[in-house]
A and B are shown apart, each in its own frame.
Chain A
Amino acid sequence: MTNPVVLLAAATLLVGLAAGHAPAAQVGQAAPPFEADSSVGPIRLADYQGKKNVLLAFYYADFTSG
């Protein structure tokens, strides 16, 4: 017995969950600008523009494997 309403509700929930985990920034968009302190002093993303590509690697915390 498969109730189409239940199926639809489940599908909607799955789509919602997927959307909730999707990155806020997307390929093809301008990278959101930022200015922040770092281990080597203040850093602005804009400073790299026209000079270097940037790999921005987010991780959970120092001294962890993540």
Chain B
Amino acid sequence: MTAFQADIAAFERLNTQVLGVSPDDVATHKRFAESLKLTFPLVSDPGGKIQAQYGPGRIAFFVDLQGVIRLIVEGMPDNTQVLADIERLLK
């Protein structure tokens, strides 16, 4: 999540809200967010119910203004690539 934080201004320039999602509870998320000075929300997904609807493992989904999935990034994301892909998709 530190990588997303480092590039958060670039995501904001593309009108993109980063949401981290893991099974951790809200109290743990708050401690984690505070320790890393994260300025984007961490969503609590106990039991992985949200993730089950999306996809397993370390994975990211770019959802556009219409609520449509436009990009899926599996594994550790390369922000430079992700930002370039988002920029291309929004053109």
Contacts and interface: CB of A to CB of B under 8 A. Distances in A.
A64 to B, nearest CB: 9
Q: For chain B, give the interface size range.
A: 35 or more
A2 interface: no
A62 B65 contact: no
Interface residues of A, number: 39
Contacts of B54: 23-25, 31-32, 56, 58
B28 to A, nearest CB: 5
Contact of B72 (A23, A36, A43): A23
A62 B82 CA distance: 22
A60 B82 CA distance: 20
Given A38-B26, A39-B38, 17 more contacts: A29-B68, A30-B67, A31-B68, A37-B43, A38-B41, A43-B41, A48-B17, A50-B65, A50-B66, A52-B16, A52-B17, A53-B65, A53-B86, A57-B1, A58-B51, A62-B24, A62-B29
